Amino acid sequence: MNKACPIKKGDRVKVIAGREKGKVGNVLRVLADKEKVIVENLNMVKRHQKPGGMTKQGGIIDMEAPLHWSNVMVMCEKCVAPVRAANRVLEDGKKVRVCPKCNEPLG
């Protein structure tokens, strides 16, 4: 059973562990079943690609590898700091993620 993902596509995140520690980027994809995220221009790896058909060119390409979502934290745009997102319910009954430091909605 998977837990709810604390990170959404399009979030600005900071890497807190691993070889990319301290770098900031935007989330391109969330792989919820594997509990991983793909962050733009971070954790780059080389992939040896075979040519396929008429359209796909072969060679060595650079691509983003997934990071475990426990190794990234959401960045608050107002605080400009990584935060652990909190959930709050608004007056109209809508549930939103907020920064616990400044109470501003995230993303």
- State the Cα–Cα distance between residues 87 and 53, nearest whole angstrom: 48
> What would the CATH number be for the domain defined by 12-77?
2.30.30.30
Q: How many alpha carbons fall within 13 Å on the CB side of residue 71? A: 19
Domain ranges in the chain are 12-77
List, as one string, the DSSP characters of 70-103. GGEEEEETTTTEEE--EEEE-TTS-EEEE-TTT-
- State the Cα–Cα distance between residues 89 and 71, nearest whole angstrom: 27
Query: CB atoms < 10 A from the CB of 25, how many?
Result: 22
Q: What is the pTM of this model?
A: 0.84
- Residue 2 confidence (pLDDT): 61
| Tens-place pLDDT, residues 58-90 | 899 999 999 999 999 999 999 889 999 999 998
